């Protein structure tokens, strides 16, 4: 997925076991979808906590947040509970969502990437950095602010 592409309607199971549809999340407004390689690791914790810490700013521009990794429901639930994220974490164990977004690696964990989606599912921004953890939330927020102008 690249800027200007429209994502298909996808679904996944979150850390509570509930099925989430992308179309349902987008019905509420723009959405930031961030992929992280593995829950409970240093980098993924830093990245996810930065999204959590900026949640009010994302809400202020009308955007929702959702994190996705290939970890199972139980690990996602433990990760969310430990850090009080307040946004869903999808357990993409078959990595079909990662594949649809183009972040699935043939071997190893998925790529770390963030996508800012308009309410109609068009990619407004694609942010990639394996090591600059705060960059994902910061640039996603800036993309949303720019789109609102």
Domain spans in the chain, listed from the N-terminal domain onward = 5-148
Asked if pLDDT for residue 107 goes beyond 90, the answer is no
Tokens 């078959």 locate to: 94
Asked if pLDDT for residue 149 goes beyond 80, the answer is no
| pLDDT > 90 fraction of the chain, expressed in percent and rounded | 87
Give the three-state DSSP class for 35.
Answer: strand
Angle at 13 between CA 16 and CA 33, to 5 degrees: 105
Asked if pLDDT for residue 108 goes beyond 90, the answer is no
Angstrom distance (rounded) from CA 124 to CA 146: 10
Helices (H), the chain: 22-26, 42-53, 55-60, 73-83, 96-101, 133-148
Confidence of residue 131 (pLDDT cuts 50, 70, 90): confident
44 is catalytic: yes
**Whole-number pLDDT of residue 67:** 97
**Whole-number pLDDT of residue 1:** 84
**Whole-number pLDDT of residue 130:** 79
**Whole-number pLDDT of residue 24:** 94
**How do residues 24-55 score in pLDDT, each as one tens digit?**
999 999 999 999 999 999 999 999 999 999 99
Q: Confirm or reject CATH 3.40.50.920 for domain 5-148, answering yes or no.
A: no
Question: Annotated catalytic residue: which of 25, 44, 103, 141?
Answer: 44
Sign of torsion, CA 28 34 39 41?
A: negative
């Amino acid at each position: 997925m690249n800027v200007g592409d429209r994502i298909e309607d996808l679904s996944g199971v979150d850390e509570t076991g509930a099925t989430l549809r992308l179309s349902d999340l987008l019905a509420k407004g723009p959405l930031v979808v961030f992929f992280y390689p593995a829950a409970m690791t240093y980098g993924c914790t830093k990245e996810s906590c930065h999204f959590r810490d900026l949640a009010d700013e994302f809400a202020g521009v009308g955007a929702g947040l959702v994190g996705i990794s290939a970890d199972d429901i139980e690990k996602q639930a433990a990760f969310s509970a430990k850090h009080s994220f307040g946004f869903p974490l999808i357990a993409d164990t078959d990595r079909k969502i990662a594949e649809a977004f183009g972040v699935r690696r043939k071997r190893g964990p998925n790529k770390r990437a963030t996508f800012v989606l308009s309410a109609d599912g068009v990619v407004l921004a694609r942010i990639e950095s394996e090591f600059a953890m705060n960059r994902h939330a910061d640039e996603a927020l800036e993309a949303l602010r720019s789109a609102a102008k």
